[in-house]
Structures are given as structure tokens and as C-alpha cells.
Amino acid sequence: MNLALLIIAFVMLGSAAIAMGLRNLIHSALLLIASWAAIAAFFLWAGAEFLAFAQVLVYVGAVSMVVLFAVLLTRQSRLDLNLAPVPFGRALGALIAGSAVAGILFGAILGTPLPAAAAPPPGLTVRQLGLQLMGTHAAALLVVGVILTVALLGAIVLASNEAAPKTPEAR
């Protein structure tokens, strides 16, 4: 098969799997960031350059920062970052659920006759993307802008400290 795709898939799945299993929260977050970077490499391999750079900019550049800040703000001491091990029953249940879903989906994928077009990857210029975004999907673009604004304002409100000081006790 395609060597580059196999390497990218190996890095992506490997770092995601280890990230979900580690007991050190910061290492988990950093391995997940590596997984996101591998996903960007997959986008680059498939020929969607703009999407790959957007993935790096948004996930590796911004969401990773939010995650790391949240990890550091929700601990009492450095020891809180070493998590308790997952109880065996729970881990086994989760693995069985994951494998079952994987099995069903693999069966569905391998079963349906999917046509893989032998054509070279579609060359998508930023210009075409821009014309589509501002033309056909202009409404969706505006709605996504509103979603992002509202979501981030809400996040700031949720995460900020209690505002008004309580009334002083009567002495």
C-alpha cells in the first residue's frame, strides 16, 4: 500500500492510544497534540493543504493551549496530575465497547463495494475554497462566526471568578 499513509496512520493511532492510556495528564495531552499533528499530515497527504494548515493552527496552536491551561488550573498540587489507574473492569468494558464498534464498522467498510477513483487527488486552490465559502456557503460561514463568538464569550463567563463580593457581616 502507500508507505506514507501507513507511517502517518501508525503515528496517529499509536499516539492517540498511548494518550488515552497514560496516567500522567500532561503527557497525555502532549501525545494527543502529536496525534493532531499526524492528522494534519494526513490532510496534507490527501492534498487538502489549506485544511492541514488550519488543523495545525487551530488544534496544535490554540486548542492545545486551552487544554493545557485547563489541566494546570484544575489541580491542587503537582501530584494531582498523576491519575489513579483505571479499574480493570471499567477498562475492560471500554475496550470491549470500542472493539465492538470497530468490528462492526470494519465489517461495514470491507463489505461495501467502495469505488476508489484511481484519479490523482483533486488540486484545490485556496481561491476555489474562498469562492465557495463566500458564495455558496456564506450563510454557514456567518453562522460559524457567530457560534465561535458566542461560545468563547460563554466560556469566559463560565470560567471567570465569582464577581460581586459578598456583603460584609454585620458586627
CB nearer other proteins, residue 123 or residue 170: 123
Q: Kindly state the cell numbers that stand for 149.
A: 463568538
Residues 2-61 within binding reach of other proteins (CB under 8 A)? 2-5, 9, 12-13, 16-17, 19-21, 25-26, 28-30, 32-33, 35-36, 39, 42-51, 53-61
CB nearer other proteins, residue 152 or residue 171: 152
Residues 107-166 within binding reach of other proteins (CB under 8 A)? 109-110, 114-117, 119-129, 132-133, 137, 140, 144, 147-148, 151-152, 154-156, 158-159
CB nearer other proteins, residue 163 or residue 170: 163
Residue 46: other Cβ atoms inside 10 A: 14
- State the Cα–Cα distance between residues 43 and 50, nearest whole angstrom: 9
Pair 50, 129: CB distance under 8 Å:
yes
Total binding residues toward other proteins, as defined by CB under 8 A: 104
Q: Which amino acid is at 104?
A: I
Give the alpha-carbon dihedral of 73, 75, 77, 78, to 10 degrees: -80
CB nearer other proteins, residue 61 or residue 171: 61
Residues 68-107 within binding reach of other proteins (CB under 8 A)? 68-74, 76, 78, 80, 83-84, 86, 90-91, 93-95, 97-99, 101-102, 105-106
Q: How far is the CB of 171 from other proteins (least distance, A)?
A: 27
Q: How many CA atoms, within 13 angstroms, populate the side-chain half-sphere of residue 38?
A: 19
**Torsion-angle region of 167 (φ positive above 0: left; ψ -120 to 50: alpha; else: beta):** beta
